[in-house]
Amino acid sequence: MTEQIDAGMVARRIAESDRLGSPDPGREIGRARRRKEDARLITGRTLWTDDIQLPGMLYVAFLRSPMAHARITRVDTSAARNQPGVAAVYTGRDFAAEQGSLPCAWPVTEDIVIPDHPPMAVEEVRYVGEAVACVVATDRYKAADALEAIEVDYEPLEPVLDMTEALAEGSPKVHEAGNRSFTWKFSGGDVEAAFRDAPVVIERTYVQQRLIPTAMEPRAVVATTDGTAFTLYSSTQIPHVLRVMLALTTGIPEHLLRVVAPDVGGGFGSKLQVTAEEVLCLLLTRRLGKPVKWTESRSEGNLTVHHGRDQLQRITLAAERDGRIRGMRADLLADMGAYLMLVTPGIPILGAFMYNGIYKMDAYDFTCTGVFTTKMPTDAYRGAGRPEATFAIERAVDELAHELGMDPVEVRRRNWITHQEFPYTTIAGLTYDSGNYEAATDRALALFGYDKLRAEQADRRDRRDPVQLGIGVSTYTEMCGLAPSRVLGSLSYGAGGWEHATVRLLPTGKVEVVTGTSPHGQGHETAWSQIAADAMGVPFEDVAVLHGDTTVAPKGMDTYGSRSLVIGGVAVLQACEKVKDRARKLAAHMLEASPDDIEFSGGTFSVRGTSAGKTIQELALAAFAAHDLPEGFEPRLDADVTFDPQNFSFPHGTHLCAVEVDTETGMTKIRSYVAVDDVGNVVNPLIVEGQVHGGIAQGIGQALFEEAVYDSEGNLLTTTMTDYLIPSAADLPEFVTDRTETPATSNALGVKGVGEAGTIAATPAVVNAVVDALRPYGVRDVRMPCSPERIWRAISESGGAAAGWAGPTEAEGGER
Amino acid sequence: MIPAAFDYVRPASLEEACHVLATTGEEAKVLAGGQSLLPLLRLRLAYPSVLVDLGRLPELHGVQDRGDHVFIGALTTHDEVMRSPVIREHVPLVALATATVADPAVRHRGTFGGSLAHADPAGDLPAVALALGCVFVTRMTGGQREIPASDFFVDYLESALDPGEVLVGVQVPKLGAGWGFHYEKFHRTAQAWAIVGVAAAVRTEGGAISEARVGLTNMGSTPVRASAVEAALRGAPSPAPDGNGASNGGHDPVRDACGEAADDTSPPADLHATSDYRRHLARVLTYRAVRAAST
Ligand SMILES: Cc1cc2nc3c(=O)[nH]c(=O)nc-3n(C[C@H](O)[C@H](O)[C@H](O)COP(=O)(O)OP(=O)(O)OC[C@H]3O[C@@H](n4cnc5c(N)ncnc54)[C@H](O)[C@@H]3O)c2cc1C
């Protein structure tokens, strides 16, 4: 235990020094500022979508299909219409002519099948929870009561629940066109050659279970119109994308549609969507001429917020006996669910470039087939494709190490790109600009006390201790900062990946930053203020950041894919520089000097070599008064920048996890967890730490706790938080976090993004640790989540029933 | 997650509460902390027409030392129970088990009596009440009853309380000197319900177990008394505090006795565990609980 305490102390000391302020006094960037948004958020002075009350507002409730797959033969809404307080009841048929089809913006192949996706089902339902009718009433209680009075007759059709069976001959079809949506392939190098006569081949199948994103704030929508123009408030990550998509879907002209993301309480990808409820609320307000509101319950959310992951991965590695990887194959089935939503098919494809991880290899082959099932559609969930890829390669490398009798860290060292080799173009075609895997790993091993833990593990194995120790390694990288528009175009994505910023110097010298990113918990108001304060030479407190409303911030690509700082933050910096260029011209004019002789420092423009100068505040007022400006100078000190990155960014790091597995009960306890991340330069260490903590918690959630379970009829069983387990602080160890800082070379801030790192890294670290603990029992995999029962069965089935206690009986074997 | 409409009354006396219940009949439901009842209403799994809130009845509240037993008023919250010096001193098993219930928010609202009246076999307190041989004191218009724990838990979510009958409080017997206690709860996340729980009270005398009481949580449609284990433990040498019987698999009479923990149980199967796994856990956890209670 002593090394754990040491590690904790080191981390605390690092954290302390962060908190003492910027390593470079006077600079905002690098300071561990508390988030300026938090006082408001934690004292309830917030405006969530559900808090919005408009005069005459009506409340919407949706009747949802109880059948996984059925034909709708009759809907009778007459009784519901007559209930007190009910303003209207509609079925899918009532909106058939105007509701259109929910958009899919990522047709990954030319021959992809994109089925029609009506916001409210008209003829057929294809998952439990699909909306079939809606009630609009004077309060939400009356709306809920009236739902019970709607009668729907269904003619049951066969559910399609298993991807492999869905692709088999004779399977019932989810859609007329069949159950295969697309097959997407990528190949780099000569894979045949890499596998030919390979001394070691590791082949494994991993199941990425289906997950339910669990944002703290459930989804909510408010829609209103003045008869001409429309406003939609939504708990969304993507107000800008949503506006464009809603205009295309509903026919409401884009210039007459305003979309607002008020305070938004988390998303993790689940609010990167154009939802049926958003479309229908807009159509309802158009039809009824009154404001409408819909807020989901947690159970409704579990059913109908898009789900995450759900892939079946077959991974094959070819290697030399010295551990060097020759090549790999990744063969995926990805469950799309019943329909393709905004970026559903693109999610596994985002992972396609990451299966090789941080390793050098000669050849790589990737195939992914998207499969329809009668379940809730899947789409982006924290990490989106990249956690799946990282899990597969990091699990497989551990298996390779075990096969060769080598230490898992050593196998990684033999294969990873060394720091001298950057920039490095991988076999998947990406160019990693910078990184230092050696440094991050060495730091992590020291903080973890790796050798001591290995010694303890050996001792417990020798003693046949019922509590076994396992050590899991995860050395990850991820492609972040989504994304260069030309790359997105080459991948058939429907939009670009630029980001917009406006910086305005106000007459009194304060600074307004308008960003196209749409924070929902990330702390952009703080971080962007730090960037602008440094660039403009104004106090942090003098900067305000505006966002999340298409009227206030008309241009943007929003927040997902660890893109906001790397693209949006850089746009803010560039806009500040542009404002300063204007201010410099004005200063030169006022100081009667040449702009080339003007220096900028600490918020003052001065003539080189003299004491004459103008502060940025003085210039702001001068531009406002506009009495004496240079010839042709417009009276404004503001600027717009739309920044499109040239490359992705590539954060990386090494996470180490030690677990204690109680072999008698199968219970896993995380004993210690060390994360050393390299996210490039750090704007605010406290925010980075928060993102890492939350990310690790979510990654642990997938490894040990979370799973969306459907029964054999296609009913979702995990509709409450009693059944869908997410870890809380009480279930998690104290995380020891540290950083190495290898600046990104692809952007002016040298930043890489941190939103998804923890989630991507943690899942394989934990599962590798669980499997490592069980190696003496001959266990080589445990399906996620590694629940106590699964672990107990894994031990029993490998013939290693925990000393003295009987294993499962024949009768009740079976997968859980 | 929106309940159907219902009426709400908050009687000012126990008399009045009984009266309201008697006149409304089966349509009425008693509301205590609401931590089990409100979820049922919100999921529309229950449609009572009237909720009778007991929240303002002081006679249902509080903990009293009554000599040979401790009386716990039905409305006493979990939080009050686990902090009560009287309970901690005289009937510590109740405090130990209550401390594992849910999370602080639920424990500040949920009540001792509500937990028992709800008769959820997955609740932590029914198995404790059964093991300790508690007596349930009730009132209804024109009468009162005392129901022994062995008769109180009838079926899944079904107690011996008649409609119109209010649980006033519970007598928890003090077991006296020589007894040790432990509640072993197995759950996946900190605030989750027990997959299996074991309440153990063990009396040791002269290096041997003279009496044991073992109640099982979530091993059937009601809480279960592990009578076979209790019988088999009688006379067994009390387990050595440092001995690790679990790893050497050698002969250990206490362990053998606990191997009978799942006998005659029909545990449920759900998302968190199959019945088979629950049986296995019952054996392992009973051994752990008995060992902990013996030392
Ligand atoms: C998130 C969550 C987690 C939980 N986890 C656990 C856990 O781990 N372990 C555990 O044991 N419990 C758990 N519970 C349940 C909790 O202990 C409840 O407090 C308890 O089950 C019910 O107590 P209550 O006072 O809230 O009763 P209520 O919900 O008000 O009532 C429950 C039932 O008992 C009846 N009732 C209540 N009081 C009386 C009375 N005096 N006379 C007659 N009938 C009465 C009601 O009519 C109703 O049918 C959890 C609850 C929640 C919400």
Residue A361, both tokens: 């290899």
Q: Mark whether B49 and B62 lie in a shared domain.
A: no
- Rounded CA separation B188/B170 (Å): 30
pLDDT at A807: 57
Q: Are residues A453 and A411 in the same domain?
A: yes
Q: Report which residue type is found at A442.
A: D
Q: What is the mean pLDDT of residues A16-39?
A: 77
What distance in angstroms lies between residue B33's CA and the mean position of ligand 1's atoms? 7
Same-domain status, A437 and A568: no
Residue A799: pLDDT above 90?
no
H helices present in chain B, as ranges: 14-24, 37-42, 78-83, 85-90, 92-98, 104-109, 112-117, 124-132, 149-152, 227-233, 245-248, 253-258, 275-294
Coil, strand or helix: which one is A776? helix
A697 and A778 share one domain: yes
Chain B neighbors of A808, CB-CB under 8 A: 274, 276-277, 280
Q: Is A658 exposed, middle or buried (0-12, 13-18, 19+ CB in 10 A)?
A: buried
Indicate if the pLDDT at residue B160 is higher than 60: yes
pLDDT at B26: 85
Looking at residue A810, its pLDDT comes to 42
Sheet with A652-662: list strands edge to edge: A467-477, A652-662, A667-678, A735-739
Boundary of a domain, candidates A611, A643, A675:
A643
Residue B189 lies in a domain: yes
Q: H-helix or E-strand containing A690?
A: helix A685-700
3-state DSSP assignment of residue B189? coil
A237 and A134: one domain?
yes
Same domain, B160 and B260: no
**pLDDT 10s digits, A522-565:** 999 999 999 999 999 999 999 999 999 999 999 999 999 999 99
Within 13 A of B281's CA, how many CA atoms are on the CB side?
32
What CATH code is carried by the domain that includes residue B66? Answer: 3.30.465.10
* Residues of the domain holding B190: 179-294
Q: Are residues B73 and B44 in the same domain?
A: no
**Separation between Cα atoms, residue B19 and residue B31, nearest integer Å:** 15
Question: Taking CB atoms and an 8 Å limit, are B280 and A805 in contact across chains?
Answer: yes
| Contact in structure between B116 and B33 (CB atoms under 8 Å) | no
What is the domain-level CATH number for residue B223? 3.30.390.50
Looking at the CA of residue B126, tell me the nearest atom of ligand 1.
11
Distance between the two ends of chain B, CA-based, in angstroms?
47
Cα–Cα distance between A171 and A158 in angstroms, integer? 9
Evaluate if residue B245 carries a pLDDT over 70. no
Per-residue model confidence (pLDDT) at position A442: 98
What is the distance between the alpha carbons of residues A784 and A490, in angstroms, rounded to a whole number?
Answer: 34
Which CB contacts under 8 angstroms, 24+ apart, belong to A539-543?
A540/A28, A540/A33, A542/A509, A542/A510, A542/A511, A543/A510, A543/A511, A543/A512, A543/A513
Residue B90 included in any domain: yes
Number of domains in chain A: 3
Q: Which of A590, A613, A643 is the last residue of a domain?
A: A643
* Single residue among A271, A295, A319 that ends a domain in this structure: A295
- Please report, for the domain that includes residue A619, its CATH number: 3.30.365.10
Segment A771-785, tens digit of pLDDT: 999 999 999 999 999
Q: How confident is the model at residue A19 (pLDDT cuts 50, 70, 90)?
A: very low
Evaluate whether A193 touches A22 at the Cβ level (below 8 Å).
Answer: no
- The per-residue pLDDT of chain B, averaged, comes to 94
Q: Judge if B161 and B266 occupy the same domain.
A: no
- Burial tier of A770 (Cβ tally within 10 Å: 0-12, 13-18, 19+): buried
User: Could you tell me if residue B261 is inside a domain?
Assistant: yes
Same domain, yes or no: A590 and A469: no
Residues A637 and A661 in one domain: no
pLDDT digits (tens, 9 = 90+) for A126-166: 999 999 999 999 999 999 999 999 999 999 999 999 999 99
> Would B100 be classed as within a structural domain?
yes
Shared-domain flag, residues B130 and B206: no
Domain that holds residue A529: 498-643
Segment A39-52 shows an average pLDDT of: 96
Bridge partners of residue A308, in order along the sequence? A211
The 10s digit of each residue's pLDDT in B212-226 is 999 999 999 999 999
Do B215 and B289 lie in one domain? The reply is: yes
Judge whether A727 is closer than 8 Å to chain B, CB to CB.
yes
Model confidence pLDDT, tens digit, residues A58-77: 999 999 999 999 999 999 99
Looking at residue A87, its pLDDT comes to 98
The whole-number average pLDDT for the span A452-470 is 97
Is a pLDDT exceeding 80 seen at residue B114?
yes
The domain total for chain B is: 3
Do B138 and B241 share a structural domain?
no
Which of helix, strand or coil describes residue B173? strand
Residues A118 and A264 grouped into a single domain: yes
Which CATH number goes with the domain that contains A104?
3.90.1170.50
Q: Is residue A26 part of a domain?
A: no
Select from B158, B173, B188 the last residue of a domain. Answer: B173
Return d(Cα A767, Cα A775) in angstroms, integer: 12
The pLDDT value recorded for residue B1 is 74
Residue from A63, A135, A468, A665 whose CB has the most chain B CBs within 10 Å, to mutate: A665
Q: Is residue B1 part of a domain?
A: no
pLDDT at A21 over 70: no
Q: Are B125 and B151 contained in the same domain?
A: yes
Q: How far away is chain B from the Cα of A409, in angstroms, using its nearest Cα?
A: 30
Task: Say if residue A554 is in the same domain as residue A410.
Answer: no
- Pair (B82, B158) in one structural domain: yes
Asked if the structure places residue A768 within a domain, the reply is yes
Residue B112 lies in a domain: yes
Same domain flag for A628 and A657: no
Query: Are the C-beta atoms of residues A781 and A204 closer than 8 Å to each other?
Result: yes
Let me know: does A436 contact A678? Beta carbons within 8 Å: yes
Asked if residue A710 is part of any domain, the answer here is yes
Query: Are B198 and B286 members of one domain?
Result: yes
Percent of chain A with pLDDT over 70: 95
Pocket of ligand 1 (CB under 6 A): B 29-37, 54, 74, 101-102, 106, 110-111, 113-115, 117-118, 123-125, 161, 166-167, 193
Which chain B residues touch A if contact means CB-CB below 8 Å?
1-2, 4-5, 42-44, 186, 188-193, 195, 244-249, 255, 271-277, 280-281, 283-285
Domain membership flag for residue B2: no
Say yes or no to pLDDT of A815 above 90: no
Is B15 part of any domain? Answer: yes
Residue closest via CA to ligand 1's atom 2 equals: B102
ipTM confidence score: 0.95
Instruction: Give the containing element (helix H, strand E) for B64.
Output: strand B63-66
pLDDT confidence band for A2 (50 / 70 / 90): very low
| First-to-last C-alpha distance (Å) of chain A | 34
Tokens of B190: 């900190």
In this structure, the strands spanning A543-546 and A511-515 are parallel
- Please tell me whether residues A410 and A468 are part of one structural domain: yes
Ligand 1 atom at minimum distance from B111 CA? 25
A224 in the same domain as A131 = yes
Within 10 Å of residue A475's Cβ, how many Cβ atoms? 30
- B29 and B90 in a single domain? The answer is no
A677 and A566 share a domain? Answer: no
